[in-house]
């Protein structure tokens, strides 16, 4: 009887664990779709607003969402790591500017995929700074990713889209550097909400300064839904991603984060008829595959990992 009860409890625990992993995967797919929808709304908003204006609305909305919880929850904002927060905020803001600029000028799937090279740059930077010996799987993932970048950029080499594509790739580099700062803050015990808060502050201030210098457009009634949608989708995507990493397996969730590329490819085709050429599809697939392989390789190495790297982006 006792043995049978133990078996029943074990099977119940396994079923609960499996259900929790499934929930984590579904939360990550929801986050991927919301991030893709945010990208589509940015592309729609780019008809009436500059990339800096869209970045301002995205950051300001996130700040407004965080403030009530900080004020009523009596969160402690003081931190000894303000230099890391400042560097993370400036790098993340630069990456956000370049990402939104790429979305406004390139096919949606291309812009999003270039931004998703950030984990590759993060991995390279971690290897250089931590001076550890990478395994073959990790090296293969990195090499495969940059081969994918070459294929993805090849159709733009002889066109006016080369500069926007390179700026989009630079945005991925800045995001990777920002993730490195986020990792360092996590290693020092900074809570994710504080990282997100200071990023939102820095991004809002920088975008405000840009708009004061270059000017901004007054939102029309027709444009307000898109602007609100950008902020709402970004916020809900962050929450869904946080829940995904909490419930799911880090490797599965990290791999499913690339579902954003698939969703944006579909949205680009449906909304703007953005059919990519064969080289671009190949490059897109190689970058996604490299991200999954690099995730597996990082898990086998001694690199420190944080579940909140993209949560605080």
pLDDT, tens digit (0-9, with 9 covering 90-100), for 239-257: 888 788 878 777 788 888 8
How far apart, in whole angstroms, are the C-alpha atoms of residue 247 and residue 70?
A: 25
Q: Which of 20-29, 31-40, 132-141, 150-159 has the highest mean pLDDT?
A: 31-40
Give residue-wise pLDDT tens across range 265-277.
999 999 999 998 8
**pLDDT value at residue 51:** 95
Give residue-wise pLDDT tens across range 84-116.
999 999 999 999 999 999 999 999 999 999 999
- Cβ contact 305:170 at 8 Å: no
- Cβ contact 150:283 at 8 Å: yes
Residue 176, CB half-sphere, CA atoms under 13 Å: how many?
Answer: 21
Residue 105, CB half-sphere, CA atoms under 13 Å: how many?
Answer: 20
How far apart, in whole angstroms, are the C-alpha atoms of residue 180 and residue 170?
A: 15
Residue 307: band (very low, low, confident or very high) from pLDDT cuts 50, 70, 90: very low
Is the pLDDT confidence value at 159 over 70? yes
pTM: 0.87
* Higher pLDDT among residues 137 and 27, named by residue: 27
Mean pLDDT of 195-213: 93
Q: Return the percent helix, strand and coil in the chain, to nearest 5.
A: 80, 0, 20
Q: Which of 181, 209, 310, 176 is nearest to 256 (CA)?
A: 310
**pLDDT value at residue 311:** 47
User: How many helices and strands, by DSSP H and E, does the chain display?
Assistant: 12, 0
**pLDDT value at residue 262:** 93
């Amino acid at each position: 009887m006792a043995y049978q009860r133990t078996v029943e409890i074990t099977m119940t625990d396994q079923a609960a664990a499996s259900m929790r992993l499934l929930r984590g995967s579904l939360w990550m797919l929801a986050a991927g779709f919301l991030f893709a929808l945010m990208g589509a709304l940015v592309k729609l908003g780019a008809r009436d607003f500059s990339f800096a204006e869209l970045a301002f609305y995205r950051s300001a909305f996130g700040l407004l969402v965080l403030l009530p919880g900080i004020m009523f929850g009596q969160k402690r904002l003081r931190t000894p790591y303000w230099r890391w927060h400042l560097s993370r905020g400036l790098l993340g803001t630069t990456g956000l500017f370049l990402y939104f600029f790429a979305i406004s000028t390139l096919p949606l799937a291309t812009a999003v995929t270039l931004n998703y090279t950030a984990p590759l740059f993060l991995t390279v930077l971690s290897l250089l700074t931590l001076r550890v010996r990478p395994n073959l799987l990790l090296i293969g993932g990195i090499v495969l990713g940059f081969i994918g970048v070459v294929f993805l950029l090849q159709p733009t080499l002889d066109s006016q889209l080369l500069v926007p594509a390179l700026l989009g790739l630079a945005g991925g580099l800045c995001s990777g550097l920002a993730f490195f700062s986020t990792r360092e803050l996590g290693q020092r015990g900074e809570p994710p909400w504080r990282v997100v808060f200071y990023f939102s502050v820095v991004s809002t201030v920088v975008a405000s300064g840009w708009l004061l210098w270059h000017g901004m457009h007054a939102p029309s009634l027709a444009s307000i839904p898109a602007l609100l949608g950008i902020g709402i989708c970004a916020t809900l995507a962050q929450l869904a991603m946080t829940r995904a990493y909490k419930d799911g397996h880090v490797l599965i969730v990290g791999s499913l984060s690339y579902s954003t590329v698939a969703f944006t490819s579909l949205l680009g085709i449906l909304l703007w008829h953005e059919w990519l050429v064969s080289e671009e599809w190949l490059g897109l697939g190689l970058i996604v595959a490299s991200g999954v392989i690099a995730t597996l390789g990082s898990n086998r190495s001694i690199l420190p990992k944080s579940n909140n790297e993209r949560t605080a982006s």
